[in-house]
C-alpha cells in the first residue's frame, strides 16, 4: 500500500492528500511530528535527506516533492488529470512552476509568518501575494480551470495555499473569480480540505 508521510498543517502535504483523495487511491498516512523535529530523525532522513514533508512511498519508490507526487499519482491512476500531449503538458507545467515559485514567495510564506512565526517580511509577502492574485484573477476572467480547459494537477498544486491565504493575512475579498474557482475545486468528487489554523499557532 502507498504510504504518505505528512503533517496536517502542511500545504505541500495537503496537495498529496488531495490528489490521493480525488483519485480515490487507498493509502496509509504517517504523520511526521515536525514540532518535535521528527523530520530530522535518522529514519526520516533516509527517506528524505531534505527533511521536509510530504514524502510518498510506493512499493520501494520514494518521491519527496509535492508536485512530483501529484504528477506521479495522476499518471499512474488518472491520466485525465495530467494529459501527455505537448500543449496540455506545457500549460500544466507553467502553473506547476508558479506553485513552486510565486505561491511560495507569496501566500505560502505569508502563512508561515502568521501561523508558525517564521522570521520573514510579512508586508512584502502579502504584497507579492496580491500581485500574484491579480494575475490569477485576470486568468479566470474567461477560464474555469488553470490549464487545458479542465481540471488538472495544476489546480491541485495551486489550491491549498490560495484557499488558506487569509491565514497569512492575505484577503481574497477582491478576487471573485478566484473565489469561484475555489468553490469549483471544493465541489469535486473526493475533495478533502486541509485543517484550518489559528494565527500564531506554533509549529
Q: Do residue 99 and residue 180 come from a single domain?
A: yes
pLDDT at 199: 52
Helix (H) / strand (E) element for 57: namely strand 55-58
What distance lies between CA 147 and its chain's CA centroid? 16
Distances (CA, A) of 17 to 3, 8, 77: 11, 10, 14
Task: Answer whether 16's CB lies under 8 Å from 6's CB.
Answer: yes
Supply φ then ψ for residue 59, to 5 degrees. Answer: 55, 50
- On the question of pLDDT at 171 being above 50, the answer is yes
Q: Which of 79, 102, 129 is the C-terminal boundary of a domain? A: 79
Q: Is residue 47 part of a domain?
A: yes
For range 13-22, the mean pLDDT: 97
**Partners of residue 30 on adjacent β-strands:** 5
Q: Is residue 201 part of a domain?
A: no
Q: Do residue 113 and residue 182 come from a single domain?
A: yes
Q: Do residue 57 and residue 91 come from a single domain?
A: no
Q: Do residue 112 and residue 55 come from a single domain?
A: no
Q: Is residue 108 part of a domain?
A: yes
Q: What is the rounded CA–CA span in Å between residue 77 and residue 42?
A: 32
CATH assignment at residue 160: 1.20.1050.10
- List CB contacts of 5: < 8 A, sequence separation 6 or more: 30, 32, 44, 47, 48, 53, 54, 55, 56, 57
**Partners of residue 55 on adjacent β-strands:** 5
Task: Answer whether 80's CB lies under 8 Å from 147's CB.
Answer: no
pLDDT grade for 168, boundaries at 50, 70 and 90: very high
Q: Is residue 197 part of a domain?
A: no
pLDDT at 201: 42
- On the question of pLDDT at 203 being above 70, the answer is no
Q: Do residue 92 and residue 169 come from a single domain?
A: yes
Q: Do residue 120 and residue 73 come from a single domain?
A: no
For range 154-177, the mean pLDDT: 98
Q: Which domain holds residue 135?
A: 83-186
Domain count, the chain: 2
Q: Do residue 58 and residue 109 come from a single domain?
A: no
CATH assignment at residue 35: 3.40.30.10
In tens, the pLDDT along 140-160 reads 999 999 999 999 999 999 999
3-state helix, strand, coil in the chain (%, to 5): 55, 10, 35
pLDDT at 65: 94
Q: Is residue 193 part of a domain?
A: no
Q: Do residue 47 and residue 60 come from a single domain?
A: yes
- List CB contacts of 30: < 8 A, sequence separation 6 or more: 3, 4, 5, 6
pLDDT at 202: 35
pLDDT at 41: 82
**Average of per-residue pLDDT values in the chain:** 93
Q: How does strand 27-31 pair with strand 61-63?
A: unpaired
To 5 degrees, how large is the angle CA 45–CA 50–CA 52?
85
Q: Do residue 100 and residue 113 come from a single domain?
A: yes
pLDDT grade for 198, boundaries at 50, 70 and 90: low
pLDDT grade for 33, boundaries at 50, 70 and 90: confident
Q: Do residue 166 and residue 127 come from a single domain?
A: yes
Distances (CA, A) of 147 to 22, 99, 173: 17, 13, 24
Task: Answer whether 26's CB lies under 8 Å from 32's CB.
Answer: no
Q: Do residue 73 and residue 102 come from a single domain?
A: no
pLDDT at 39: 81
Q: Is residue 194 part of a domain?
A: no
Q: Is residue 126 part of a domain?
A: yes
In tens, the pLDDT along 48-107 reads 888 789 999 999 999 999 999 999 999 999 999 999 999 999 999 999 999 999 999 999
Q: Do residue 74 and residue 90 come from a single domain?
A: no
Amino acid at each position: 500500500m502507498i504510504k504518505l508521510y505528512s503533517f496536517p498543517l502542511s500545504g505541500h502535504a495537503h496537495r498529496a492528500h488531495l490528489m490521493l483523495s480525488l483519485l480515490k487511491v487507498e493509502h496509509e498516512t504517517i504523520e511526521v511530528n515536525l514540532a518535535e523535529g521528527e523530520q530530522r530523525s535518522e529514519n526520516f532522513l533516509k527517506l528524505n535527506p531534505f527533511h521536509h514533508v510530504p514524502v510518498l512511498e510506493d512499493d520501494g519508490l520514494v518521491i519527496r516533492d509535492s508536485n512530483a507526487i501529484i504528477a506521479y499519482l495522476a499518471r499512474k491512476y488518472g491520466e485525465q488529470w495530467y494529459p501527455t500531449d505537448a500543449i496540455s503538458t506545457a500549460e500544466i507545467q507553467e502553473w506547476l512552476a508558479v506553485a513552486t515559485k510565486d505561491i511560495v514567495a507569496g501566500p505560502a510564506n505569508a502563512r508561515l509568518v502568521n501561523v508558525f512565526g517564521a522570521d520573514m517580511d510579512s508586508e512584502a509577502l502579502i504584497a507579492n501575494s496580491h500581485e500574484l492574485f491579480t494575475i490569477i484573477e485576470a486568468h479566470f476572467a474567461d477560464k474555469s480551470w488553470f490549464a487545458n480547459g479542465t481540471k488538472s494537477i495544476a489546480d491541485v498544486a495551486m489550491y491549498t495555499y490560495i484557499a488558506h491565504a487569509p491565514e497569512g493575512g492575505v484577503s481574497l475579498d477582491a478576487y471573485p473569480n478566484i473565489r469561484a474557482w475555489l468553490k469549483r475545486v471544493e465541489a469535486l468528487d473526493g475533495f478533502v480540505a486541509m485543517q484550518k489554523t489559528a494565527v500564531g499557532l506554533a509549529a
